[in-house]
Structure 1
């Protein structure tokens, strides 16, 4: 099993089209999709991201500069994400195809989440993180 992050991406067109959708209807549609993933045993996490409560930390200067976010153009924004634990990238793609993200400019980016076991296990910082994960029930 591997973890994959499905990242909701939108454009100005997507946001404009979503403005006409009833909020309760959207919650119902997303809720049903999330429930399908829960029932299938693949959903690890799902969250929306609030652009009004964001800042950007830019490390290109010393000290880093903090500005109101989100960064870049609307077409670059992530609106939210799901983390799934599935058997393959292909299975993650199949779930993404079923996501209620129809509309102009809507996209879902799929990225595999690296696991702690993929890093050198003799590294002291990996060992400390592994101990923390074990103590919090994450391993």
Structure 2
């Protein structure tokens, strides 16, 4: 803290270069020169390592809901497209809701629907909608 910079504790895979995020908490600009020590790596125990690598390594199989989605899409995809879809689902599995209660909300994105001179309406989609 005496240098006016903070770095967060984090778990990283051992490698030659480790990315570090720093926060300047002083009022002055700071310059870091090559070779400046900004932190210390400490080895953690085996139990913790296993948990760390479980989060980094891809799962061995898709979640059931995503596997079902892939299976339902099979007829419309070539084998190459299906493989790419599978890789995509593995990579971004955490972004897909697992059930109807797994949705969040955000106030970050705001939108406006232009209705011209008409008042906006709110109604449920028709059960006979051609899209569903």
What is the TM-score of this pair, normalised by structure 1?
Answer: 0.24
Q: Which has more strand, going by share of residues?
A: 1
Larger Rg: 2
Structure number with higher relative contact order (C-alpha < 8 Å, ≥ 6 residues apart) = 1
